[in-house]
Structure 1
Amino acid sequence: MRRRSLLAATATLPAAALLGGCGFALRRPPPLSFERLALVGFAAGSPMEQALRRLMPQTVTLVDAPQQAQVVLESLLERRERVVSGTTSFGQVRDMVVRVRFRYRVSTRAGKPLVDPSELLQYRDQSYNETLALAKELEQTELYRDMETDIAMQVLRRLETVREI
């Protein structure tokens, strides 16, 4: 019995060594070159602002007043959209496209632009069935949250390029 467990452990050792050298690492927020950031222009309870706050590295402090920040991220447009992309011959909805559009700019507290006004757009296709309306609504909520997280990660990667403060 002891010999069998020793053989099993010896057989799994090369597999573990291969996995250890594959370069796998958990996804982390990118390191940012500044310490204080102000998020302005977001609506109260904005899902995009919540996603940015959730993904912000711990090395960055979010401040309320732009005068206290080194960098200001201003939301110019944040919109969730839903468009019908396919119908049946009876006019019933079969396919939809859900989109999240986010336009922003990044500047210093004095107003000097660090990142030109940019727009990010994410969209997902979604099938639709009226008999599963509640489930499709929950799926749509998850799709929106996933897209907002993707956009927030893209914004953080763009903030990583900000060097001159």
Structure 2
Amino acid sequence: MNRRSALGALGAAALAGCGFELRRAPELRFSSLALAGFKPKSTLADELRRQIGTSTTTIVADSPAQAQVVLEALTDAREKSVVASTAFGQVRELQLRSRFGFRLRTPQGRELIPATEILLSRDMSYSESAALAKEQEEEALYRSMQNDIAAQVLRRLASVPAL
């Protein structure tokens, strides 16, 4: 056995011994969930559906009446502000923010998670000479924040006790 193979085997054994395992979707304690209050064609709602779809215990119901719990979107907004500019008024740095407010309730109206807001922000340099590339970078940052928000929402849903 060569040195590289031995080091690889040793590394794998160390990871197995420390309890390392790949991140997976949190186990939710309810069988069905409905998404309500999202804008039509909401990319955040699509990401939540996708992440909940990886769960082995929970499905996304078509309507709140068919679901055990309802995740209600209160706010879903993207914001952009100028953080720094030159003496000539050219933008040099932007701050992107993604804000998501939600609550979790039963179809009968019993509140399981009160109104909660998740706010993420990212700073981004800006140059007018690379405007198209910066536009693509902005979309990538918003997509990353959206995935992070969906993961945080799922972790909060996992903390809800069984009904």
RMSD, aligned α-carbons: 1.6
Which residue, 39, 44, 56 being the options, matches 2:40?
44
The one-letter code of the counterpart of 1:47 is: T
* Residue 49 (structure 2) pairs with residue 53 (structure 1): yes
Percent of aligned positions with the same letter in both sequences? 48
Which residue, 139, 142, 162 being the options, matches 2:140?
142
The verdict on how the C-alpha distance between 1:15 and 1:68 changes in structure 2, with shifts beyond 3 A counting, is closer
- Report the Cα offset of residue 76 of structure 1: 0.7
Structure 1's unaligned 5+ residue stretches are 1-5
- Report the Cα offset of residue 61 of structure 1: 1.0
- Report the Cα offset of residue 118 of structure 1: 0.4
Structure 1 residues 119-147: Cα deviation after superposition (integer angstroms, max 9, x where no partner): 10000000001111111111110100110
Aligned twin of 1:77: 75
In 1, Cα distance between equivalents of 2:85 and 2:5: 59
The one-letter code of the counterpart of 2:25 is: P
Q: What is the number of residues matched between the two proteins?
A: 160
- Does structure 1 conserve the Cα–Cα contact (< 8 Å) formed by 2:29 and 2:57? no
The verdict on how the C-alpha distance between 1:164 and 1:111 changes in structure 2, with shifts beyond 3 A counting, is farther
Structure 2's unaligned 5+ residue stretches are none
- Report the Cα offset of residue 7 of structure 1: 4.4
The TM-score with structure 1 as length reference comes to 0.90
The verdict on how the C-alpha distance between 1:9 and 1:119 changes in structure 2, with shifts beyond 3 A counting, is closer
The one-letter code of the counterpart of 1:89 is: A
